[in-house]
Amino acid sequence: MQTPVEGFSRFTKEEKIDWVAKNYTGNSQETKDLLATYWNDDSKVQQFHDEFIENTLSNYYLPFAIAPNFLINKKLYAIPMVIEESSVVAAASKAAKFWLSRGGFKTTILGTEKVGQVHFMYYGESSKLNSFFEAIKPQFFKDAKSITQSMEKRGGGIKNITLHNLSDKLKGYYQLHCTFETLDAMGANFINSCLEQFAKTLQEQASNANLFSNEEELEVIMSILSNYVPNCVVRAEVNCPITNKATNASVSREFAEKLKQAVAIAKVEPYRAVTHNKGIMNGIDSVILATGNDFRAVEAGVHAYASKDGNYSSLTHAEITNDVFKFWIDVPLALGTVGGLTSLHPMVKTALEILQKPTAKELMQIVAVAGLAQNFAALRSLVTTGIQKGHMKMHLMNILNQLGADKNEKTQLIGYFKDKMVSNASVKEALEGIRS
């Protein structure tokens, strides 16, 4: 029976591993050997990994891949992707190649505004609070000057602070709704530092003003940035002519109509929309991970954006106008190319170098394209051959590894399934046939 442990964070790495292996695994030596296998031989690199989070035992590796041939705004990119799911990189590469001869991808930054809020309670007259806020508003900017001056020199900083009355949703609930421009930094630390200063200023000014009775007392609850950034949005799109039969510069009318209808279904059917958008995030998350950004924050913001009109819906759109097929995505992305892991993790540095050292705006555009490409590849398969044919082909190697196939067996079975449908059962049967 396991028992609580005291002072675990103060254990050395070896002591932590010994404790976990002894108390939570069936084979302590095997566990220790496995964890040690994934340590980095370069002690400096390993130290970076160990210090990213707490109580580290080892490293958890994911494949680092490249999807080439992405023509974005007439500039050619090879996009780094970190993901474990079979067929994602292949699908993105295939989509990139498809659109390479059809004009490539075009992108537009629609906004870069980020948001933070000071949440507080107030039970007095809203008109009195409004007047108080307008009187002290300049003080927020003044008190935060030591935090914002460096960002302001680069062209960023606080954009605006407004008072929101949400007491109709929760009695006494108000907030300072604050917007920021953080340039090439994702800006979480900068925004949170500003917000905490705003909260301090608000509380101090309220105490000094002697405007509020005990019943009206203003109480700050918390100050935190928001990962919902509906005004930090990028558009990525593709378009080409429609002809009766597809060419290197066009798509067929039948294909365009079916793909448009597939998107229309995802717009009105949440069960489909969730899977539709998950495929988009396969592309987005893999580039976010490769470039050291926060994929959890992006995921949360993107899915909230997909629900902004009251129903969860497709992030992508398709239309046919005057025999031109257009397919596009508008997606909120708060990203950074400086600070955080971007200056620490060696693979992140390499990923950004491969992307030709993009600004945050350029990275937004690249990530949006990866999401659009992934969605196009998935829809193309769904409305033509079906998703399983290509996906299971890419999954074949995973199945063979799970079944313990050796190198010779893998070679034989890759050839065997070249023109056959792949499934767990069919691979198992074919492998058993070779072995017998």
Residues 6+ apart with CB under 8 A from 426: 417, 420
Question: Got the DSSP string for 305-345?
Answer: HTTTTSS---SEEEEEETTEEEEEEEEE----SBSGGGGT-
How far, CA to CA in Å, does 365 sit from each of 39, 112, 333? 34, 12, 9
Q: Which helix (H) or strand (E) holds 273?
A: helix 270-290
- Tokens 């992006």 correspond to 298
**Is 85 considered catalytic here?**
yes
**Is 16 considered catalytic here?**
no
Q: Give, as one character, the DSSP assignment of residue 383.
A: T
R_g of the chain computed on alpha carbons: 26
Residue 300 burial (10 A CB sphere; 0-12, 13-18, 19+): middle
Going by C-alpha positions, the residue among 315, 302, 365, 301 that lies closest to residue 337 is 365
Kindly name the residue from 13, 18, 49, 85 that is annotated as catalytic: 85
Kindly name the residue from 278, 303, 326, 428 that is annotated as catalytic: 278
Question: Got the DSSP string for 23-81?
Answer: HH-S-HHHHHHHHHHTS-SSHHHHHHHHHHSSS--S-----EEEEEEEEETTEEEEEEE
Locate 385 and state its tokens.
Answer: 């051959």
Amino acid identity of residue 141, one-letter, is F
Going by C-alpha positions, the residue among 152, 177, 155 that lies closest to residue 165 is 177
Kindly name the residue from 16, 391, 393, 395 that is annotated as catalytic: 391
**Is 294 considered catalytic here?**
yes
Going by C-alpha positions, the residue among 82, 84, 73, 90 that lies closest to residue 350 is 82
Interatomic CA distance for residues 121 and 172, integer angstroms: 5
Residues 6+ apart with CB under 8 A from 62: 82, 83, 84, 289
Residues 6+ apart with CB under 8 A from 152: none
Kindly name the residue from 143, 184, 285, 294 that is annotated as catalytic: 294
- Helices 295-305/270-290 angle, 10° precision: 150
Instruction: Please give the positions annotated as active site.
Output: 85, 278, 294, 391
